[in-house]
């Protein structure tokens, strides 16, 4: 980011407006991942109704998973109906709606928890708002046709993520001159576009997009310099859970990356991340309690 850019940003707010309700961000919040997909990299198919070749979500399994997250202390449940793993195929609006909206509506009926929807589709954004969602988490930063307008027409919070390329080819040859500066410049530009479209700054959070069009070195450079992202003036949402950047260092499969995921969550919290997106809610909540105990002692000791 240029010096001129930095003069126009401010300290991130300590709260986020989500469907007219404030989420306090003075402590890091845990976002639990609820993938209603057959092909997500870590847990694809886990919520299948097991009724043949056509993937169909089991509402009972989805609610059981949501209940476990709520009991573990989750702050936000992030429902996703399209895999964005490297090489993932696209999903039609119709199929994504069939997967996501009944789950969002069922969670809203049964639990008092913030609900996020991981989508880039204008149709899914609008339907999610009607079904009771509080947030849109978009890996494409509201760049698909109609997505920006659909989000602006709601009062949902939005998370804008950086991704170089598209999931089908984003990991083929990622290149940056300065990954932190380029990611920051993109996010700041998208934030300004959203504000101009009528999405107030208190509804916006930002995600540097670990693993999305970035090499191993790019990912760890972003993590090492994460504090620089605070100059963008918005809360930061960070997703490191079970990603290949952890598996590559540990030599571990996605099922065996808990220790690395927890280390990443704590490092992100130390760097001031506001929302941590994870698969393993209970373990992350516990790890962040240790971080908060240290932080609180440091403030009062």
Predicted pLDDT of residue 10: 46
pLDDT at residue 61 tops 50: yes
Q: Which of 32-36, 89-93, 161-165, 283-287 has the highest mean pLDDT?
A: 283-287
Q: Angle between the 122-131 and 93-110 helix axes, to the nearest 10 degrees?
A: 20
The reply to whether 242 belongs to the active site is no
Query: Phi and psi of 34, rounded to 5°?
Result: -125, 90
Asked whether 133 and 19 are in contact (CB, 8 A), the reply is yes
- Closest alpha carbon to 88 in 120, 115, 114: 120
- Closest alpha carbon to 62 in 74, 47, 79, 49: 47
Cα gap 205→75, rounded to integer Å: 15
Q: Which domains are assigned to the chain?
A: 3-10+17-293 (3.20.20.20)
DSSP secondary structure of 255-270 = GG-HHHHHHHHHHHHH
pLDDT at residue 294 tops 50: yes
Catalytic residue among 21, 243, 289, 295: 243
Task: Count other Cβ atoms within 10 Å, centred on residue 204.
Answer: 24
Q: What angle do CA 89, 92, 97 make, to 5 degrees?
A: 120
User: In the structure, what pLDDT confidence band is assigned to residue 41 with cuts at 50, 70 and 90?
Assistant: very low
Asked whether 246 and 264 are in contact (CB, 8 A), the reply is yes
| The pair of three-digit structure tokens given for residue 275, joined into one six-digit string | 């929302």
Catalytic residue among 242, 277, 289, 295: 277
- Closest alpha carbon to 266 in 298, 234, 291: 291
Global pTM reads 0.90
Asked whether 101 and 128 are in contact (CB, 8 A), the reply is yes
The reply to whether 243 belongs to the active site is yes
């Amino acid at each position: 980011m240029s010096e001129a850019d930095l003069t126009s940003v401010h300290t991130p707010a300590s709260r986020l407006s989500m469907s007219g309700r404030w989420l306090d961000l003075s402590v890091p919040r845990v976002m639990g991942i609820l993938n209603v997909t057959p092909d997500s990299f870590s847990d694809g198919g886990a919520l299948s109704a097991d009724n043949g070749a056509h993937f169909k979500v089991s509402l009972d399994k989805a609610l059981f998973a949501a209940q476990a997250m709520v009991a573990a202390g989750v702050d936000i449940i992030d429902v996703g109906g399209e895999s964005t793993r490297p090489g993932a195929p696209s999903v039609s609006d119709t199929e994504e709606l069939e997967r996501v909206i009944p789950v969002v509506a069922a969670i809203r009926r049964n639990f008092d928890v913030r609900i996020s929807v991981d989508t880039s589709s204008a149709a899914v954004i609008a339907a999610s708002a009607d079904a009771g969602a509080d947030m849109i988490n978009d890996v494409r930063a509201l760049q698909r046709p109609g997505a920006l307008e659909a989000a602006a027409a709601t009062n949902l919070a939005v998370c804008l993520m950086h991704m170089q390329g598209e999931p089908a080819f984003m990991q083929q040859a990622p290149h940056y001159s300065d990954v932190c500066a380029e990611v920051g410049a993109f996010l700041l530009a998208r934030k300004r576009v959203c504000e101009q479209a009528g999405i107030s700054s208190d509804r916006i959070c930002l995600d540097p997009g670990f693993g999305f069009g970035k090499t191993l070195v790019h990912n760890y450079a972003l993590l090492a310099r994460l504090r620089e992202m605070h100059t963008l003036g918005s809360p930061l949402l960070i997703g490191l859970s079970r990603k290949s950047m952890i598996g590559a260092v540990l030599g571990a499969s996605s099922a065996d990356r808990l220790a690395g995921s927890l280390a990443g969550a704590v490092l992100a919290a130390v760097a001031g991340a506001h929302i941590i997106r994870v698969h393993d809610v209970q373990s992350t909540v516990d790890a962040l309690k240790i971080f908060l105990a240290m932080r609180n002692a440091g403030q009062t000791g």
